[in-house]
Amino acid sequence: MPTYYYNARSLAGEPKKGVLEAKNEHELARILRQQGYLLISVRLEGETSLKRKFTIPLPFFGRVSLSEKIFFTRNLRVMVTAGISLPRAMRVLASQARSKKFKGVLLSIADEITKGYNFSDCIAKYPGIFPEIFASMIKVGEESGTMEEVLDVLTRQMERDHDLRTKIQGAMIYPAVILFVMVVIGILMMILVVPKLAQTFSDLNIELPITTKIVIGSANLMKKFWYLIPAIFIGLFVLLRFVSNTKTGRFITGSMVLRIPIISPLIKKTNAAYTVRSLSSLIDAGVPIVKSLEIVAGILKNRSYKNAILDAAEQVKKGAKLNEALKKYSNIYPALVIQMIEIGEETGDTSNILEKLADFFEEEVSNAFKNLSSIVEPALMIVIGAAVAFFAVSMLQPIYSIVSAIQ
């Protein structure tokens, strides 16, 4: 029988290295599991690790979708449960990856694990793909020997996250499409139609109303400097991205959206959902409460919520209860969140209570965005109607004046 060099970890988190004879890797994993160990990596006697040409891909080129990471985590859990070693599982999953960037990262991680590095340390090198919550929970799974359970919790966490994002995006697609079409048609009308009408009015030498002059003047500018239109849109997009990537910009924009009447309740419910869902998953995986709060703060995008959670982590570190630490942030966190956390702390069942609370808020967010969509649609119709009416009146007024003069 072949001889294998292996790295394993006990259920208590103690590492173990050794040599065993087994028919194959599955048999080796089964033997170690019977002894209370989880197979981490394996190398056949006489086999050298494969050298792969690999360069770390730049973060701006290529993108790993959330759905692909869910597929990876779900199948990694299945392979770990089946006793397949991590390096082999990573290589198999790399061969199924759609993203070239993700494929390269998985192959690199597989090689590093084969060299003896911990899985959690390897994935922590790629924060652009694996967020801190992922690396921290994997580390807990390695140390406690509960990798299967941790991967299951991570899969559910990401599936819920994906479901919430999909609902939000789905609710906003129709208004966004209507707005985009309206802008495109408006630009085309101003560039192609209005100049021809303006030439006709000029040939007839008639006095134009002020609204008509405004429309014609705008159309002439757009026709003359049409190439600036995409440049302006791109410039605005780059400016917004730049502002959103600065600490001050994130704080200002985050504070502003919390003061907009219709948007504010949606932002609060969305951040509450992300907070309690992530906190529930981390606590369920066995991450200490202070570390969990610090990780959740890293996940939240809104600076006001990030600061609130970081401050709460400091208060908890000093001995305060989480619900007490969050009470002074009742202006951004609904009272229900604070009350349910208090119940969870009293009963010792915080994880389950937060999970049910996350389900509630995610449903609330979904319904709120659907309602917002139903409000935005008629509002857009009114705006479009007003724009069409202004354009029609501005262009028809001179024509009506000509017809009246002829009669």
| CATH code assigned to 153-407 | 1.20.81.30
Average pLDDT, stretch 96-110? 88
Which residues, 6 or more positions from 209, have their beta carbon under 8 angstroms from its beta carbon?
394, 397, 398
Q: Over 80: is that where the pLDDT of 404 sits?
A: no
Determine contact, residues 153/281, Cβ cutoff 8 Å.
yes
Report percent pLDDT > 70 for the chain: 88
Domain ranges for the chain, please list them: 1-45, 71-130, 153-407
Q: In this structure, which amino acid lies at residue 230? A: P
- Residue 385 CA to its chain's centroid (Å): 35
Q: In this structure, which amino acid lies at residue 185? A: I
Of the candidates 107, 100, 93, the one whose C-alpha atom is nearest the C-alpha of residue 61 is: 100
User: What is the enclosing helix (H) or strand (E) of 18?
Assistant: strand 15-21
Quote the tokens at residue 397: 């007024």
pLDDT tens per residue, range 180-230 = 888 888 888 888 888 888 887 777 777 778 888 888 888 888 878 877 878
Determine contact, residues 131/298, Cβ cutoff 8 Å.
yes
- pTM here is 0.62
pLDDT tens per residue, range 26-36 = 677 778 777 77
pLDDT tens per residue, range 296-306 = 887 787 888 88
Backbone angles phi, psi at 187, to 5 degrees: -65, -45
Q: Which of 2-16, 157-171, 208-222, 270-284 has the lowest mean pLDDT?
A: 2-16
Residue 49 pLDDT level (bands cut at 50, 70, 90): very low
Report percent pLDDT > 90 for the chain: 1
Q: Which of 9-18, 84-93, 118-127, 383-392 has the lowest mean pLDDT?
A: 9-18
Of the candidates 39, 42, 37, the one whose C-alpha atom is nearest the C-alpha of residue 10 is: 37
pLDDT value of position 56 = 34
Residue 117 pLDDT level (bands cut at 50, 70, 90): confident
Residue 12 pLDDT level (bands cut at 50, 70, 90): low
pLDDT tens per residue, range 216-227 = 888 888 878 877
Burial 282-318, CB ≥16 within 10 A → b, else e: bbbbbbebbebbbbbbbbbebbbbbbbbbbbbebbee
pLDDT value of position 405 = 60
Determine contact, residues 7/15, Cβ cutoff 8 Å.
yes
Query: Mean pLDDT score of the chain, rounded to an integer?
Result: 80
**Alpha-carbon gap, residue 215 to 217, rounded angstroms:** 6
Residue 311 pLDDT level (bands cut at 50, 70, 90): very high
Which residues, 6 or more positions from 111, have their beta carbon under 8 angstroms from its beta carbon?
49, 50, 52, 54, 87
Average pLDDT, stretch 33-57? 54
Q: In this structure, which amino acid lies at residue 210? A: I
Q: Which of 22-36, 156-170, 296-310 has the lowest mean pLDDT?
A: 22-36
pLDDT value of position 52 = 35
